[in-house]
Amino acid sequence: MAIPSTFIDTLTSSVDIVDLVGNYVTLKRAGRDFKANCPLPGHEEKTPSFYVSPGKQIFHCFGCGRGGSAIKFIQIMERLSFPDAVVNLAGRIGLDVPFERGSGPTGQSETLHEINKIAHEYFRQTLLSPAGKDGLAYLRGRGFSAKTIEAHKIGYATPSFDGLIQHLRSKNVDLAMAENLGLINRKQDGRGFFDFFRHRVVFPIIDEYDRVLGFSARVIDNSQPNVGKYINTRETPVFHKGRLVFGFSLARKPMIDAGEVIVVEGQTDVIALHQAGITNVVAPLGTALTKEQVRKLMRTVRDGKIFLCFDGDSAGRKSAAGKLDILIEENAQAFISIMPAGKDPADLASTSEGVREFRKVLEDSESILKTKWKFLSDENLMLDGAERLDDAGRINELLRLISLCADDIKSHSLIQEARSLTNLPEHRLEARLAEIRRKTRVRKPVDEPASAEEGAETDDVHLLTLHQRSKRRTSTGVTLKESSYEHELLSFLVSRPKLIINALKDHQIVPNLIQDPELREIYSKLLEIAADGNNISFACIEEKLAESALSGKLSQLVLASKDRGISEEHTYLKDVADTLKRNRSRELAEALNQTIHSDVANGDVTNEDKDRALRERLELRKQSKLRRGGSVTENNS
């Protein structure tokens, strides 16, 4: 492995997984653990099935089946490779990753970042060259100073179809990889490439680690028909538009310091406001504001205020209306600002008087619910083409919005606000809200554990769930008692990786003693990993099984593990080894007995064959008796 396992142990022990996950989603106490609606990409739910264990430093979602360590969480949330996730996590707590000699995160992601860097340098150099005079004139015409252009690292792409291609070739860049990054496109006939960004000012999308992930580019001539004002890098292995915001690298510290963020619609709005001294400003890449973007902003401002600024025209109001559901679902402390008609933030940022007016717009921002009610009730603010609702319809739509909030305290606060907006009694609103929620309630996933409240006084809802599931014969035919022993053994070993090799060498627990096929496969994999060396950790196991269908099972096993003192560990291994061997001997003896009776009945064996089989059965009985400390009396009858 490129990163020493000792460092991975240090990293995972230095990170509090509750704090880490808490940056992405609001956690609630559930016994010893914490729970939340699953924040993992691709899983939407309204009933919490996502759990985090501070004692075991593990997360697991019983709905989508994914789980693991803090490193795994970052891998999933940030869509990173294992080495890149280690670098990301280490950077958050100020640790340098000691890559082994000749290694490092030099896989595809680092190569792609390097190609983006080369392209970015080309765009910046072009802007400041004679070939960039059109782009520079556009930026100066927007009022951007040389200092601002440099701070935001803006570049320019000429009208040429191969300017960037020639530069990439001069740097020995693989053009197929540049195509993979969306920098160039392949010609229709398949013979060669052409530049994707042409005759546009180019804004780099830079993350908090100062890496160029992709680009957003704006036309400099609005008169061109059928040409989009902005184009962005398409989805690539390192660029995910729905998870990034423009201006984040420069706005991050001001956002943290202020405890709030201002979200505007365009890149030039961001740059103009930064130049005017309002620096906690970002913009989504495109018109849609995604859940991932909201979560990124919420964790940066530590659940502080989010101000969303929209143009005052119909398109701006429509854009604002489309964001309200997401803001409620994510429990964001958000406020909506509608700009004066005919003006955008960049216009106001150009004068000191305009800056004061912009700040006043922020002061007059209104809550999500009040904004929704205005859009429903005020004819001057209704969206073009929107259905005109009667009083009952408007109230139902307002309550539908509230029903998206999964936080009970926030939901109650929203009901109180709805009471003041609608002049209806709180109890009537709550009754109607409960009815709406009943109609839209999502069934709990099969594997979801009971909540802490539903689980009475239990301290470990996960273990309870495993036991409840094992009260029947498993799908593989393994009985409750056998499955319980095997689950407990694998839970024990996965949570104490350094004892895996002892299970084999000191206690002769071989894979075929495990009857459950899935658990037997996991145990076999654990032995393979442990055979590579002594410095084995859960994170190492996690990495080795990353591509396996069994990876999600690991965190579930750790959550179910029991606490045991060091003095108990080897005693436990001896006891469970004896139990598994007894079970295996009994199974073999029963199978042999059935075979003997079947063959004798069919006349397929001689007396000599029968005597040899009986001796084998007796030997199995002897082994089983000796393990229990008993004696054996020979009886061939």
pLDDT digit string, tens, across residues 115-124: 999 999 999 9
pLDDT band at 408 (very low <50, low <70, confident <90, very high): confident
DSSP 8-class letter at 14: H
State mean pLDDT over 319-339: 89
210: helix, coil or strand? Answer: coil
Q: Which of 9-13, 203-207, 324-328, 493-497 has the lowest mean pLDDT?
A: 493-497
Please tell me the predicted confidence (pLDDT) of residue 3.
76
Work out the pLDDT band at 77, boundaries 50, 70, 90: confident
- What is the pLDDT averaged over residues 398-409? 89
Give the residue-averaged pLDDT of 369-394: 77
- Higher model confidence: residue 368 or residue 55? 368
Q: 307: closest CA among 269, 342, 347, 352?
A: 269
Instruction: Read off the tokens for 18.
Output: 């509750």
The more confidently predicted of residues 575 and 597 is 575
pLDDT at position 152: 96
Inter-residue contact 77 to 39 (CB < 8 Å): yes
- Stretch 401-414: mean pLDDT: 89
Instruction: With a cut of 90, say whether residue 162 has pLDDT above it.
Output: yes
Do the strands 245-246 and 260-263 form a parallel or antiparallel pair, or are they unpaired? Answer: unpaired
DSSP 8-class letter at 96 = P
Cβ-count burial 443-479 (b if 16+ within 10 Å, e if not): ebbebbbebbeebeebebbbbbbbeeebeeebeeebe
User: How many other C-beta atoms are found inside a 10 Å radius of the C-beta of residue 632?
Assistant: 13
The CA angle 362-275-127, to the nearest 5 degrees, is 135
Could you give the CA distance from residue 621 to residue 633 in angstroms, rounded to a whole number? 10
Q: Output the CA angle 18-22-25, nearest 5 degrees.
A: 135
From 349-358, 449-458, 501-510, the region with the lowest mean pLDDT: 449-458
Residue 546, number of CB atoms within 10 A of its CB: 13
Give the type of residue at 309: C
Residue predicted with more confidence, 385 or 162: 162
Does the pLDDT at position 300 exceed 60?
yes
What's the mean pLDDT in 138-165? 96
CB 437 within 8 A of CB 403: yes
408 or 459: which leads in pLDDT: 408
> How far apart, in whole angstroms, are the C-alpha atoms of residue 86 and residue 88?
5
**To the nearest whole number, what is the mean pLDDT of the chain?**
80
Nearest to 203 by CA among 214, 212, 216, 213: 216
Q: CB of 366 within 8 A of CB of 317?
A: no
Q: What is the pLDDT of residue 225?
A: 67
Closest of 281, 276, 365, 364 to residue 320, by C-alpha? 365
Question: pLDDT class for 510, splitting at 50, 70, 90?
Answer: confident
| Cβ 483 vs Cβ 491: under 8 Å | no
* Percent of the chain scoring above 70 in pLDDT: 76
Residue 229 pLDDT: 86
| pLDDT computed for residue 458 by the predictor | 35
pLDDT bin (cut points 50, 70, 90) of residue 445 is: very low
The answer for residues whose C-beta is within 8 angstroms of residue 371's C-beta and 6 or more apart is 320, 324, 336
Question: What's the whole-model pTM score?
Answer: 0.65
Q: Which of 169-173, 229-233, 454-458 comes out lowest in average pLDDT? A: 454-458
Answer yes or no: is pLDDT of 597 > 80: no
The pLDDT score that the predictor gives to residue 574 is: 74
* pLDDT confidence of residue 356: 96
Q: How many CB atoms lie within 10 A of CB 544?
A: 18
Q: Is residue 327 a contact partner of residue 368, using CB atoms and an 8 Å limit?
A: yes
Higher per-residue pLDDT: 312 or 398 = 398
CA distance 362 to 365: 5
Residue 1: pLDDT band by 50, 70, 90 thresholds? very low
Q: How far apart are CA 288 and CA 268, in angstroms?
A: 17
- Cβ(251)–Cβ(280) under 8 Å? yes
**pLDDT value for 318:** 77
Averaged pLDDT for residues 70-86: 86
Q: What pLDDT band is residue 461 in, cutting at 50, 70 and 90?
A: very low
- Separation between Cα atoms, residue 191 and residue 389, nearest integer Å: 57
Facing residues of 58 across strands? 53
Judge contact between 509 and 501, C-beta under 8 A. no
Q: Which one, of 218, 230, 232, 234, lies nearest residue 181 by Cα?
A: 234
Contact criterion met (CB below 8 Å) for 561 and 494? yes
| 96, pLDDT greater than 90 | no
DSSP bridge partners of 36: 50
Place of tokens 């495993």: 466
Nearest to 3 by CA among 107, 98, 102, 111: 98
Regarding predicted confidence, which is higher, 357 or 82? 357
Extract the tokens encoding 186.
Answer: 């392949």
| Helix H or strand E segment including 335 | strand 333-338
**Rg, the chain, Cα only:** 32
In three-state secondary structure terms, 627 is helix
pLDDT tier, 98 (very low <50, low <70, confident <90, very high otherwise):
confident
Separation of alpha carbons 616 and 270, rounded Å = 82
pLDDT value, residue 588? 64
Inform me whether the pLDDT recorded for 446 exceeds 60.
no
The pLDDT, as a whole number, for residue 451 is: 38
Comparing 25-39, 332-346, 543-557, the range with the smallest average pLDDT is 543-557
Buried b (16+ CB within 10 A) or exposed e, 26-35: bbeebbebbb
- What crossing angle do the helices spanning 426-440 and 391-403 adopt, rounded to 10°? 60
Averaging pLDDT over each range in 183-187, 459-463, 477-481, which range is the top one? 183-187
What separation in angstroms does the CA of 517 have from each of 14, 478, 486? 35, 9, 11
Give the C-alpha separation, 61 to 618, whole Å: 48
Query: Which secondary structure element, helix H or strand E, spans residue 184, and what is its range?
Result: strand 184-186
| Range scoring the smallest mean pLDDT among 204-208, 453-457, 563-567 | 453-457
User: Would you say residue 6 has pLDDT above 80?
Assistant: no
Asked if the model's pLDDT at residue 348 lies above 80, the reply is yes
**Residue 505 — left, alpha, or beta (φ > 0 → left; ψ -120 to 50 → alpha)?**
alpha
Whether residue 423 has pLDDT greater than 90: yes
| Model pLDDT, residue 194 | 96
283 neighbors 265 (Cβ within 8 angstroms): yes
